[in-house]
Structure 1
Amino acid sequence: MRHSLIKVAAMSSVAALSLAACGGSDADSDATSGGGDNASDVKFCLAYDVGGRGDQSFNDSAAKGLDKAKSELGIDSAEAEASQEENDAAREDRLNALVDGGCTDIVGVGFIYATAVGNAAKANPDVNFGVVDDASPASEGDNIAQLVFAEEEGSFLVGAAAALKSKSGKLGFVGGMDTPLINKFEKGFEAGAKEVNPDATVEVKYLADNGSGFADPAKGKTAAEGMYDQGADVVYHAAGGSGSGVFQAAKAAKKLAIGVDSDQALTAEEDVRDVILTSMVKNVDVAIFDMAKASVDGEPLSGVQSFDLKSGGVDYATTGGKVDDIKTKLDEYKQQIIDGKITVPSS
């Protein structure tokens, strides 16, 4: 449910943007949360990628971390959502509007915010910024935390699961956008599949050359349908909200699919949950909560903050019981990656 979600469109002036707080008053927070001494001074805000809260995937994982921070730390918050096919200037306007709304900590949820975060942080040195999935020079700064994940490691595990369950040896990968970040999901998935079955093949399809590929279920469905028609029996998506279309295609074909970012056997529409073999869980919520807690503790995060298998930043989901019979094998692979015995490619 998108209660109190502020959808901020690109406008000619930051002054034209209005924001509303999400959550209780400072007094209410202090009375109910047991937050630190600085909790009442922190207003932690998220600028979502396309799809926003309710996408059942990437953005919802970030929202989960914000909700936990509000509940456990007693902070105030606000949220804003990206629009389709907007530019860096619009994203920067959104971040500056959050600053004007009193936000002390602002996270751009997605690599599309890299340039906007870099610029907004320079213009607002007293505000703490974060960006998910980017560690490029564009988003470097003393008041910026770059929150990055080892997506390839989690993807290796679900690739191994796919190959262990596949009868045809043919698998599929649907990416929202052809970028180095999404390539990490693809390469890890393929490496895990081939670790199990060197003869396994992975058909790859990217949905768009911009952020719209993460919010187009129809395109996701069409891409997956083509893969199932060609004999694939498991398709993995790293396509945000477009993944719901992949699940629909799997349901119609009576095949399996793999979710991403959130445990989608819990978050997807109920009528497709039974086709989800597992999900590559990317715990964006952990990163968001850690950043919020650091600010409440008076020690804001900055620089590259990495979340991998060892730290619990990524993993695979077991909801639904479909990987119970192969869990021992998957956990062996997991430990080998943690121990450095398996190095997973990211490109």
Structure 2
Amino acid sequence: MTLTKTFLGAGAALAVSAVAALAEPGLIIDLGGKFDKSFNESAYTGAERWAEETGGDYLETELQSEAQREQNMRKMAERGANPIVVLGFANQSTLAQVAPDYPDTNFAIVDAVVDEPNVKSIVFSEHEGSYLVGMIAAMKSESDTVGFIGGMDVPLIRKFACGYAQGVKAVNPDAEVIANMTGTTPAAWNDPVKGGELAKSQVSQGADVIYAAAGGTGVGVLQAAADEGVFSIGVDSNQNYLHPGSVLTSMVKRVDNAVYEVFSEGAEGFEAGVEVLGLEAEGVGYAVDEHNEDLITDEIETAVEEAKAGIISGEIEVHDYTSDDSCPVLDF
């Protein structure tokens, strides 16, 4: 839907009000595509759930290159979308520049913090959810060696890796954690071939459980793990269904709920500020369903649920890599 922004005469105020009432929410999907079976797809699922439940429409655009970030953001605002959900930390600096130019448009950014009066910043406690799947990996491993494969080497992904390693070490202090990143550019989010190669390399070093936090690249990790006869752990979306019996669990990050809630709040219910979604808010967790329930024993579930309660209560503190750019149990 395209909304005109030219108003004439005494009806201007009424026209502005009508436009606000008709505003549709918008979703800007980051590089890697909306069907990456991970982060972007989770957001898309949330938008679709909102559309199905409300009968509403929303505007959507997918980034195809770095150069499109500012252009797409401004175009979405000019089309009248409100609120606009922007996915990914890579949009942080762009949104910081764009948001002040559209003070009547509400923006929400996932995985970054932008301090503007019309921006909601939604961040997740990925280290907490990763700690839990790290425990599961250590309890399932027979070789005492597990792996982690990240996408782009950035602090956010190191946050996943560090939380995972802490969970592994909590179960087995002598376990080895092999960590690899796919690359240093955004292309690292959509390189399943490289992901598969890294997974096979880790298997050759003894890893029998591999956690992938790499967007579309992770699909290649999970495939290689299945081919090599070892377990994998999915991320963001529940990826257990991709290789039943091989995907041990998935560290779910409820980006879908975040998008759904922003869309549901609409322009009128929007509140700026920072929202942190951790274990207590069920913003992160681990997935158990018909595809992996035979793999998660009662012993594993009991231990992980006890740890979950401990993290929520503060009894167990999981170090956040992004707090000081360091990890006490893993060298990068």
Q: TM-score, normalised by structure 1?
A: 0.83
Does 2:41 correspond to 1:68? no
- Whole-angstrom CA distance in 2 between matches of 1:81 and 1:20: 18
Query: Residue 306 of structure 1 corresponds to which residue in structure 2?
Result: 276
Secondary structure of the structure 1 residue equivalent to 2:135: helix
Query: Residue 95 of structure 1 corresponds to which residue in structure 2?
Result: 73
Q: 2:127–2:159: 8 Å Cα contact kept in structure 1?
A: yes
**Percent identity of the aligned residues?**
40
Query: Residue 326 of structure 2 corresponds to which residue in structure 1?
Result: none
- Whole-angstrom CA distance in 1 between matches of 2:121 and 2:184: 23
Amino acid at match of 2:51: K
- 1:138-165 superposed Cα distances (whole Å, 9 cap, x missing partner): x220000111000000000000000000
The answer for unaligned runs of 5 or more in structure 1 is 1-18, 22-37
Query: Residue 259 of structure 2 corresponds to which residue in structure 1?
Result: 288
Q: 1:130–1:144: 8 Å Cα contact kept in structure 2?
A: yes
1:75: Cα distance to partner?
Answer: 3.0
Point out the structure with max Rg over C-alpha. Answer: 2
Query: Residue 318 of structure 2 corresponds to which residue in structure 1?
Result: 344
Does 2:300 correspond to 1:316? no
Query: Residue 114 of structure 1 corresponds to which residue in structure 2?
Result: 92
Query: Residue 237 of structure 2 corresponds to which residue in structure 1?
Result: 262
- 1:296-334 superposed Cα distances (whole Å, 9 cap, x missing partner): 6x2212111110000010000012212143111111111
Once the two structures are superposed, the pairs formed by residues 151-300 of structure 1 within 5 Å of their partners are 151-266=126-241, 268=242, 272-295=243-266, 298-300=268-270
Secondary structure of the structure 2 residue equivalent to 1:52: coil
Query: Residue 40 of structure 2 corresponds to which residue in structure 1?
Result: 59
Q: 1:145–1:301: 8 Å Cα contact kept in structure 2?
A: yes
1:273: Cα distance to partner?
Answer: 3.4
The answer for unaligned runs of 5 or more in structure 2 is 4-18, 322-332
Amino acid at match of 1:82: L
Of 101, 110, 117, the residue aligned with 1:132 is 110
Amino acid at match of 2:57: D
Q: 1:46–1:79: 8 Å Cα contact kept in structure 2?
A: yes
1:104: Cα distance to partner?
Answer: 1.4
- Whole-angstrom CA distance in 1 between matches of 2:205 and 2:2: 49
Q: 1:183–1:346: 8 Å Cα contact kept in structure 2?
A: no
- Whole-angstrom CA distance in 2 between matches of 1:154 and 1:124: 35
CA RMSD of aligned residues (A): 1.8
Q: 2:137–2:146: 8 Å Cα contact kept in structure 1?
A: yes
1:74: Cα distance to partner?
Answer: 3.8
